[in-house]
Structure 1
Amino acid sequence: MINNLTCVSENNLLVSDLHKKPVVYQGMLDKILFFVEVSRLGSISSAADSYGISVATGSRWLYDLEKELELPLLKRKGPHITLTHDGIFLFNRTKMLNDAVYHINQDLLALKKEPSGLIKICCTPIYACDYLLPIMASFSEKYPKIHFQLDVNPFGLESCDRYDITFSALSSYDDHLERNIDKVRKPIMHEPFIVVASPGYLNRCNYPKSPLNLSQHKCLYARSLTVKKEWEFNIDGKITTVRLQDVLEVSDSFLLLKAACLGIGIAYLPRFVVQEKLHCGELVQLFTDIPTSEWMLNMYYSPSCELDAITLLFKEHFAQENIYKKHQQ
């Protein structure tokens, strides 16, 4: 409600008045919002108290606003304030903006006190269960009103714009696939590939003496691990790519691990996936003295200045709770 104001109908505005408005910039917007508060309260001193500024500062803002707009907005007669034609026009056009700013501030304060919303995450299956889910669980305990939509997909990098955060993996010789991704990339894990087979398979099909002999063996392949049906080795200081011939393609890394344990063929898997099976003897490592390429897991997200508050919260929580990093330490 406008108090202590003498108002003139907006219908009495001249058309020429409408063409005097310059482009509004940030500094002017603050002054316009203060002008709306003055118009509502009917007093510069009351509006200044509401904004937490001095009366002198408030008066200067109004003077500067009139000067920048090149329009008279107020007429002062003692304690009373009268809006001019242009002042009425500006008030009627901007009072909803002032309300919107107020409600946005209230929403932000509520969000700061108790964050809420939805975070969309895509994660490669090989990392989701044992590593990402525990971090999501601890985050949910801390922020119960923030919810997740988790898509478990080894090819999330192909559609990362659909998600707030994407966890996706590449082999070191497939890293060209991320060159056109307009996201921040944060390395999470890097593990060498290990060539493994079950004792039963090796007894039945003989032990390959060199990676070059793999063409004579059944090899287990997953496109989610290496895009092409090729495995890379560093033989005598030279990078050698071995093209797989007899291939069983498995879409899931854990199924591929199971297939290797059952003696179906030879697998090329990240070290952290096979280390337990190696320790208990279900699998045997081949070519222990020949380096391989690396499996690299990265987290992809928009620049921090573009992330919403709850995604930033999760990113910070993830950095603190990264289970793999703690194990490495």
Structure 2
Amino acid sequence: MDTDLQVLRRRLLRGLVPALAFGLGLASGPAAHAQAQAQADWPNHPITLIVPFSAGGSLDGTTRLLAQKLGERLKQQVIVENVSGGGGEVGFIKTIQARPDGYTFLVAGDSPLNPAAPQGGPYYRHDVFKELQPVVLVNTAPMVLVAHPSLPANNLGELVALARKQPGKLTYATSGIGTLPHLATEMLKQQAQIHMVHIPYRGGSQIATDVAGHQVDLAMLIAASAAPFVQSKSLKPIAVTGAHRLPLMPDVPAAAETPGFKGFEVVSWAGIYAPAKTPPAIADRLAREVDAVMKTADVRDKLALQGAVAGGGTPAAFSAFVQQDRARINKVLQGISLKE
């Protein structure tokens, strides 16, 4: 049988729990309302897009075009800030240290995410999916495999046949060991089961000239870099590495069109990331705005002139894209040596 003291204690507890809940609700209510209001009002001051490299490169140019178009749509200034150093890591760190309030974003390409890249893949020293939040794909940029005009192969099928007849005789140049052009060519070699000799350069400025001068048989180049040489017939295009043909080179087949290369696709790309804990509603909104910008004919045409393809989509789609790209790179790394 309960004592009077036990009965009194139960009554006090029954009254205390609702009171605590009510008090907590009063405390959290204004904060939650303020956060919701901030998201609804976004953006109410300038947005910063951090480019982790110096001004003047292709990523910088694309970001400035995007910033202009986003600013027009959002009725708010969008600032491009170049934060170079450490192969992209300095800009990465500045982004993850920024307040996750939807006003600081990183625009980054694929190279810092590449664990085999010459700069050591600085993002691989961090967990991108914990410290950053993928928002949206900005663009992709396929490469093109080119050859000296005298090479007796006019397409990928003929090149494979030639390489099988002359194993180890053909040479190909790229911008360096572990770079995306190197990995893309290695993927072609693995898929075709052929052997060609890699000639790594320190950067890509001299490669096209050397292939045109027949110091090297082949090269994997960014399409925009190869285009003038292809148009002047100094280089012969063999195949592009994207899933489809490029408007910049409509007569050059995609590698995937060749029997034995179904599904082949290796592209350079760029996307937008937010600091972790950025409100999903803001990330979704920015993705929708970027998607709309990328669907405009003006932007698509300007990117096409650079050999690039406009992106867009959702945060979930971009996250899946990055993970698939990582898996593709890791797979090819298992079959090659980076010590050449």
Using the size of structure 1 for normalisation, the TM-score is: 0.47
Greater fraction strand: 1
Using the size of structure 2 for normalisation, the TM-score is: 0.46
User: Who wins on radius of gyration, i.e. which is larger?
Assistant: 1
